[in-house]
Each structure stands twice: as C-alpha cells, then as structure tokens.
Amino acid sequence: MIEHAPNREPGSSLRSALVSRHGVTLTELMVAVIVITIGVLGLMQSFGFISRSLRVSRQRTIADNLAQEKIESLKQLSYSQLLVTTTTVSDPNFTPLLSYDAVNYPPETLALWGGAPLQRSVYVSFASVNNGVVTPLPWSNGDTGLKEITVHVTWNQDGSWRKISLTNLVENPNISALDSTISGTVSQSGGGALAGALVQVIGNRQWQAVAGPGGAYSFNVVAGSYTVNASSAGYYPQMSASVSAPSGGGAAQNFALTAVASGTISSDSVYIDANLVVSQVVASTDTQGGDGNIHNIEYVELFNPTPFSVPVGQGGVPSIKLNYLAQGGGVSQLNFPLTYVSTYVPPGSYYLIASATSVFINGAYATADAYYAAPLSLYQSVIQRDKSGAIQIADAAGGIIDGVGWSLSGGAAAPWSKGAPYTLAINSLQFGQLVRMSSACALNAGYGRAYDSGDNSNNFVYGNSVTYSPRNTSVAQAVISGIPAVGGHATANDGKSPAASIVAGTASAPPQTCPTAYFNIAGVTTGTWTVEVSSGLYTQTVSNVAVTQGATASVLNGATSPPSPYGFAHVALSSTTANGYISGTIASASGAPLAGITVSGGGAGAVSDAGGVYFLAAANGPVNVTANPNNLNPNYVAQGAVVAVNTGLVTTANFVLSQGGVIKGCVTTGLSPLPGAVVAASGSAHSSGASDATGSFYVGNLTTGTYTLSPVLDPDQTSSPASISVTLATPGSTVFAGTFTVSGAYAAISGSVLSGGNPITTGVLVVASSVTITDPAPAIYASSSASIAPYYAASSKADGTYSVLVRGSTTYTYNLRAYHPVVDLNTGAVTSTSKTRAGVSAAPGAAVSAQDFTWP
C-alpha cells in the first residue's frame, strides 16, 4: 500500500530542518532557567552586600560630619565659656567605657534620613602638651591654658555598637583684659545678709569672690556672658541666668539663698535574702503516710526567701543536695537519693523532703515535693533521734548553703553547726521539731520561716511535739527577715545627706537574744528622693521616698516604690548588684574629720558625715574620685584619686584636704600694669590666676609646698624673670611672689573688607608686616625666613570683618595689604586685586580697629 505524504508548503522541509537543528528541548530550557536563576540570586546577594556597605559608609560619613560640626560649634565659644567636664556618665556599650558630660553638654539623639539613631556626646578636659604629645588632665589639676574637646557619635548598626570620636584643642588667649565686673549681694531668702557665701563663674573657678559681712561681693571678668553660681553651707545653691558683662562696665547679679530643710529616712528591718534555708527538721513522728498507714516518718522543710525560683532536681539529678551528719560513730547520709515531684522552689515558698510521699500532720496531709528513693526506702529512718546530729543543704558542687546542728542534753557535740549549735534540753528528738523563726526572736505563722542570724541557737525554736505543720511548694508567704545586713550602707540621692551605715540592733524573747539590722539617714533634704540600700553583692533601690522637715520617713512604706506589703518598715536585699563601692574618710591636714564635704565619682555623689566618712556606689573599673569638687567648700582645696572598683566590694579611698593658700604678685609691661595676663603655678598642686586692672594676680586654692610661677606667654613674648619659686609654708596663708615684666605683648588690628559698600563674604587675605608688602605677596622659604621681617596674616570672615594679631610695638608701625580674589564665572580663572594701608600703630595689648579696605 502506498501512503501519500501530506501536502506541504514550499520550503516547509527546510524550515523543519532548521527548527530541528536550532530548537531546544524542555530539559535544556529548564537547565537554562536554573542557571539564570542562580545568577540572578547571586547578583541579588551582591546587591544586598553593596547596599549594606553603602549604608554603613553613609552612616559613618554622617557621624563624622556630625562630630566635626559639634567640634566647630564648641570652638566658637570663648575659652571661659567652654566648660570643663567635672561629672561624667559612662556608656556601658563600649570597652573601655566611653565617658561623656551629661551636665554641661547633655547628649543629643539624632535620627537622620531613616538611618540608625545616633547619639552625640561631649567631653571637655584640661590638657597638657609635652614633646608633641597631648595628655588630657582631670579638671581638678587646674587650668593649664589648654582645653581638649572630644566629641563622640555612637550608634547601633545591625546589633553592633559603633562610634566615631574626634578631638580638638582650644588655647587660652594669652592676654585677655579683665575689663568688666560682676557684683551684687547674697542674702537669705527670709531676709538678712549671707556673709561668707561663695560666688563663682561656672567654668572658671578663678573668677570668684566671697561675700563680705554685708553680703556684698565683686570680681573682675573678661567682657562676655556667663552663668554665675552662689553657694553656702546649709543653703541650696542658686545659679543665675546668663549674665552679660560689657567691656568697660559691669553686671549686677543678686542672690537669695534658701536654707536647706531636712528630715530623716530610716528602716528598722534590713535583711539579705540570698539563698535557700533549712526551715524545719522533724527526726521522728508517728503518723499516717501516703499509704494511709501509721509509720515513723521524718522530714526536712526548706524555704526560699529570694524573689527567684531555685531549681532542686532536674531529670533526677540534684541541684540541691540534702546531707545528714551523725554523731561520731553514727551513720551519716550524704546526698540523699530522692524522687522529685517538684523540681524547683518558687519565690517565697517552701519545699518538703520526707521519708513518705505525704505526711498527715495536725489534721491535714502535706504532699512531699521529694521523697526517699533507692537505695533508701520509704519510711526508712535515717536521722537518729537520740543522738546529736546536723542537717545540711549543699549546691551541686557540694558547697554548703545552709543547715542546722543540734546537741542533745548531756550528749556529744553536734558534728556541724552554723554559729552555735542548737542545744536541746532533752534526750531525744522523737516527736519533737526544730523550726526556724520568721523574724528576730519570733515565729509568726503568717510569714516565711527565713530568719538567719548565722547562729542556730538564735535562729530556731524547739518543740517537743509537732506544733507547726510542714509546708510544700503550694504554700507561699511574705518574707520579713533573712540575714541581718549589718555593715551595709544606705544612701539618699538628695546630694546633701551623708550615707548611713546599717548597724546592729537586738530583739529579745528570753532565753534568746536575736540580732537585727537598721539604719537612719539623717539630714536628708526635704523633697522626694531615691534611696539605695546595699550590702556586699545585694541591693534594693527604693524610689518615691518623701521627706518632710523634722520628720522621719520609714522605708518601705505604702507610698514608696516598691510599696511595703507588710504595714511596717522593712527592706529586703535580694537583687544582685553590678556596682562596687567606694568609702573612706575626709580629714584636714591636722587629722580632724571634715563633715559635709562632697565627694563625686563615676557619676555618683556623696557627702561626708560627722566623722568625715563617705560612701558611694560606682560601676566596675577605674573611677576618678574627687573630694570637694569645684572647691565647693572654699576653705579647702579639691583632691582627686583614681580608684579600682570591683563588684560588690568596698574600696577605700581616704583624702586629706589642705586649706587653700594664695600666692599673689604683679604683671607689668615695665611702664604700666598688664591686665589679663595668665600666671600658672605648678608644684604640690596646679592652679592659675589672671592679672586684674592693676596688674595684680592671685593664684588660689593651693596646698602647702613649693611652687614655680610663670606667666603663660606667646612664643614671641618674654618675661623677666621667666619664673619665680615660692614656698607656701602655712595652710590658708597668702604669700607675695614678686613682679613679672612682660615684653613683646601682642596687639590686634581689625576692620572690614567691603565691595561697593557691602561686606565681602567670600574671604579676603589680610597681611601685616613692619616692611612693605608686595603684590603678589613674596614667597617665603624656610632657609631664608629667619633673616626677614615677620608677616602676620588672617582671612576675613563671612560677615566681612577680620582681625590680625601682631606683635605690639611702640618703636615701629605696621603696613597692611588685603588681597581680594575674584573668580571668572565663565572661564573659572582666578585673579586678585589688593588694597593697602600704612603707618598703623599697634602698641602692646592694644586693639586697633577701623582699618577698613574698600573696593573698587
């Protein structure tokens, strides 16, 4: 049979062949799609990486710009307005800790363009330069004439903390005329002058005065705007708003200080609740067990006074071990094998371990949280009722947590005891029980059995019958006792009251006398405060403590946070602290204790008590501690130390404060007084003072010792003599040093640059020299610079003004030339034209103004 092929279009065979040759199978197509997909995914990952890199780079650029912006803004302040950091706050997100000033320059949180929020903070310190190395100095060293600005910008990016820190230096002008005054009176708010009050410019402690008998004060300052503070012991300090002191004039600022009213904060009950305790031991009692039959049953009850759950046995493995120690010759049982019904002890709850699955006492069953397991058997007697012995609980490593030992009358001593063993006046423990007290010398059924003075004879009571029913994890009770926190401290954050020690008291219920602990913080300023109570590794913070004049506020109480759940004052120290503590004494040079001296360190503050003792909490690590910061008590100098703080431990730092002596002298030009010249003193301490309108300078707050005084000069200035050595032998005395004669003092030549009567905002270079200045300006090379006259230059500011500092002279005048660059907007070419002035006189210390240049 002949088959006929279907009709085909012309050329169809060729097309079929081409399709057959160049087409793709379904498998090939799927492989191609997979390859393309992998490539696209890889490209997407690359885009993600590039995007993250760009985001990180952009964030760092923004942070860098923000830091630079802050540096530049702070440098616009005058030297005196740039306040030095005296109190720091530490950022724990960085190691070592990043410290910043939260008082003078509160940190700023900045969120820009949807990126991670940035925090910008500032730290300003005095600084010294030695062989080109800049060393930051604590503010208590005194003004060195140089301040270092550090700006930190921090942010969290992808869970990691990052930072950028920039630093810059600001130098004290060598000559700053004290041509203005701040004066006024200091009085009591109720009327009457307040003599002896200290009035001081914030940021420059050299500008200060002590109010006289009528309360009047006055001191010289450089013209400018300042914040002024008045303080006096027993009064609240008062800070002024901005005070503007004009050149050649003065500003009036009066103060009325309010007397500090005070009360007391106290607590009669301060305990540490740190761990499980043995709360009851019954060695033998005939009663029904879990099977309903009468057995001789023994049990041990534990109590958890902490606010945390305590694991006991997980998966049959003990976290808490129960031990029984028998009298010599008896059989002890270490690490009782137990079957765990409950694996942990809830906060403020009990835990019952028994030789039965449950025990029937006082008309009710108590289910055991754990009971004896093989090789022990149910209802087996392990505790010997007729011999001395001890029950202990230990941690998984075998460390003893708590326990109780007992000695029967006439028997051998207990094999273990916590403090004194509990001595029973009977010959057997059968049908009796040892029960821990719920508070000092008291056993109240409504509160947890937690009292633990460290002495069994004061912690437990014995009954010759089972009076107190056993409790298990189903029973939770309020805790009103624990370990008396004797030796701890309590502080209020009012900034005026000294810390109080937690001291021992007693409660008595014959024949027992039981230790207690309490504190009284006296002299707390009226108001609402936060109290921190601490002892070792444990602490409790109580806020909203209201203090009224002449009254005692008890903590805890119904209005505090947390409130008292008991209806009486009680503080439980159960939270662990990350802080360590610094304590010590503050005394005068004669050894007498100094009361009321402020101590600051690690962002915290404290005040010494009548015995000169202070106490403050601080974070782990090295802490700068300063006694009498800012010379708050003007009769004594400040003293600082670096203290290593460890968690939960008290580090001692004692201070001996000397009375502040004064060295005075004069600064002249040889013909007339030279005001505003800074004179620095170095030796036993570091300080400085500036000469006033009469040329007299005073360097105060100095300890006894030998000092070298020298004026702070520009490199082109000289002084005769260059330095003076002075011995301050007597605390509080005033010694005259001598006179410095300064030559080559600088002068300032200033004016405006104008074009068509308008300020030139794009910058004009102004050059001054005692010789003729050419156009273009001459090239100066290092090899020839020593033989030519010096050139002084400055650029005009955006407002068209300029100021050039030149070496003052009465023997020659200055020539000035101003170079004005102009840019051709079409070609980009830069040309300049210049203007000149001649014969400008500039005597030392003079301010020569109105030296203007005008185009065309």
pLDDT over threshold 90, residue 686: no
- Give the tens place of pLDDT for each residue, 289-315: 999 999 999 999 999 999 899 999 987
Comparing C-alpha atoms, which of 550, 551, 552, 574 is closest to residue 562? Answer: 574
Least confident residue range of 18-32, 353-367, 438-452 = 18-32
CB 841 within 8 A of CB 808: no
pLDDT given for residue 135 in this prediction = 83
pLDDT given for residue 578 in this prediction = 74
Residue 206 pLDDT grade (very low, low, confident, very high; cuts 50, 70, 90): low
pLDDT given for residue 275 in this prediction = 93
Q: If DSSP codes are grouped into helix, strand and coil, which group holds residue 72?
A: helix
CB 777 within 8 A of CB 819: yes
Whole-angstrom Cα distance, residue 813 to residue 205? 39
The upper half-sphere exposure of residue 140, i.e. CA atoms within 13 Å in the direction of its Cβ, equals: 23
Q: If DSSP codes are grouped into helix, strand and coil, which group holds residue 795?
A: strand
Q: If DSSP codes are grouped into helix, strand and coil, which group holds residue 111?
A: coil
All residues at 6 or more sequence positions from 854 whose CB lies less than 8 Å from its CB, including other chains: 753, 754, 755, 757, 835
Of residues 23 and 275, more confidence is placed in 275
Q: Residue 116 is which amino acid? A: A
Least confident residue range of 154-163, 316-325, 587-596, 784-793 = 784-793
List, as own/partner pairs, every contact residues 359-364 make where C-beta atoms lie below 8 angstroms and the sequence separation is at least 24, other chains included. 359/285, 359/287, 359/288, 359/289, 359/297, 359/299, 359/470, 360/287, 360/288, 360/289, 361/285, 361/287, 361/466, 361/469, 361/470, 362/466, 362/467, 362/469, 364/469
Nearest 5°: the CA angle 635, 637, 639 is 145
Q: If DSSP codes are grouped into helix, strand and coil, which group holds residue 40?
A: helix
Q: How many helices (H) and strands (E) does the chain have?
A: 3, 71
Least confident residue range of 167-176, 391-400, 553-562 = 167-176
Of residues 589 and 526, more confidence is placed in 526
Q: If DSSP codes are grouped into helix, strand and coil, which group holds residue 59?
A: helix
Whole-angstrom Cα distance, residue 570 to residue 484? 11
What does the block give as tokens for 666?
């004069």
Whole-angstrom Cα distance, residue 56 to residue 115? 10
- Give the tens place of pLDDT for each residue, 765-811: 999 999 999 998 887 776 666 678 888 888 888 778 998 878 778 88
DSSP 691: -
Q: If DSSP codes are grouped into helix, strand and coil, which group holds residue 26?
A: helix
pLDDT over threshold 50, residue 379: yes
Of residues 779 and 152, more confidence is placed in 152
Comparing C-alpha atoms, which of 143, 144, 151 is closest to residue 124? Answer: 151
Give mean pLDDT, residues 55-67.
78
Whole-angstrom Cα distance, residue 257 to residue 235? 6
Whole-angstrom Cα distance, residue 446 to residue 474? 15
Whole-angstrom Cα distance, residue 676 to residue 667? 9
Whole-angstrom Cα distance, residue 326 to residue 635? 67
pLDDT given for residue 96 in this prediction = 86
pLDDT given for residue 131 in this prediction = 55
Comparing C-alpha atoms, which of 456, 464, 483 is closest to residue 392? Answer: 456
Least confident residue range of 33-42, 385-394, 398-407, 564-573 = 33-42
Comparing C-alpha atoms, which of 218, 144, 294 is closest to residue 682? Answer: 144
CB 99 within 8 A of CB 90: yes
Whole-angstrom Cα distance, residue 516 to residue 695? 65
Of residues 220 and 462, more confidence is placed in 462
Of residues 278 and 763, more confidence is placed in 278
Give mean pLDDT, residues 156-182.
78
- Give the tens place of pLDDT for each residue, 320-366: 999 999 987 788 999 999 999 999 999 999 999 999 999 999 999 99
Provide the β-strand partners of residue 750: 803
pLDDT over threshold 80, residue 15: no
Least confident residue range of 29-43, 338-352, 682-696 = 29-43
Comparing C-alpha atoms, which of 339, 336, 264, 847 is closest to residue 519? Answer: 264
Whole-angstrom Cα distance, residue 151 to residue 215? 41
Whole-angstrom Cα distance, residue 124 to residue 170? 10
pLDDT given for residue 552 in this prediction = 94
DSSP 631: G
Q: If DSSP codes are grouped into helix, strand and coil, which group holds residue 375?
A: coil
What does the block give as tokens for 178?
């004290």
Bridge pairing between strands 598-601 and 604-607: antiparallel
pLDDT over threshold 60, residue 177: no
pLDDT given for residue 172 in this prediction = 65
pLDDT given for residue 748 in this prediction = 84
Nearest 5°: the CA angle 636, 696, 254 is 60
pLDDT over threshold 50, residue 619: yes
pLDDT given for residue 320 in this prediction = 96
Residue 8 pLDDT grade (very low, low, confident, very high; cuts 50, 70, 90): very low
pLDDT over threshold 50, residue 12: no
Which of 186-190, 434-438, 564-568, 630-634: highest mean pLDDT?
434-438
Of residues 73 and 376, more confidence is placed in 376
What value does the mean pLDDT of the chain take?
A: 84
pTM of the model: 0.56
Beta strands in 634-745 (DSSP E): 639-645, 650-652, 655-657, 661-668, 678-683, 686-690, 696-702, 705-711, 718-720, 724-728, 734-743
Provide the β-strand partners of residue 505: 516
CB 480 within 8 A of CB 570: yes
Of residues 821 and 358, more confidence is placed in 358
CB 326 within 8 A of CB 319: no
Residue 175 pLDDT grade (very low, low, confident, very high; cuts 50, 70, 90): very low
How far apart, in Å, are the Cα atoms of 698 and each of 58, 499, 630, 656? 52, 36, 17, 24
- What size, in residues, is the chain? 856
Nearest 5°: the CA angle 199, 192, 183 is 30
Bridge pairing between strands 358-361 and 364-367: antiparallel
Whole-angstrom Cα distance, residue 749 to residue 705? 43
Q: Over pLDDT 70: what percentage of the chain?
A: 88
Of residues 87 and 566, more confidence is placed in 87
pLDDT given for residue 658 in this prediction = 79
pLDDT given for residue 568 in this prediction = 77
How far apart, in Å, are the Cα atoms of 324 and each of 379, 406, 593? 16, 12, 53
CB 107 within 8 A of CB 120: yes
Whole-angstrom Cα distance, residue 768 to residue 814? 6
pLDDT given for residue 340 in this prediction = 96
Task: For each of the domains in the chain, give its residue range(s) and CATH number, in order of start.
Answer: 55-171 (no CATH), 180-259 (2.60.40.1120), 274-463 (2.60.40.1260), 482-577 (no CATH), 661-743 (2.60.40.10), 746-855 (2.60.40)
Residue 79 pLDDT grade (very low, low, confident, very high; cuts 50, 70, 90): low
Of residues 171 and 538, more confidence is placed in 538
Whole-angstrom Cα distance, residue 615 to residue 499? 6
Which of 103-107, 621-625, 711-715: highest mean pLDDT?
621-625
Bridge pairing between strands 262-267 and 552-554: parallel
Q: Over pLDDT 90: what percentage of the chain?
A: 39
Q: Which residue has the tokens 């009468």?
A: 294
Whole-angstrom Cα distance, residue 575 to residue 306? 9
Give mean pLDDT, residues 260-265.
89
pLDDT given for residue 180 in this prediction = 82
List, as own/partner pairs, every contact residues 43-51 make where C-beta atoms lie below 8 angstroms and the sequence separation is at least 24, other chains included. none
pLDDT over threshold 90, residue 435: yes
pLDDT given for residue 4 in this prediction = 39
pLDDT given for residue 371 in this prediction = 97
Burial class (CB in 10 A: 0-12, 13-18, 19+), 850: exposed
DSSP 139: G
pLDDT given for residue 21 in this prediction = 45
pLDDT over threshold 70, residue 638: yes
DSSP per-residue string spanning 433-457: EEEE-SBTTB--TTB-S----S-HH
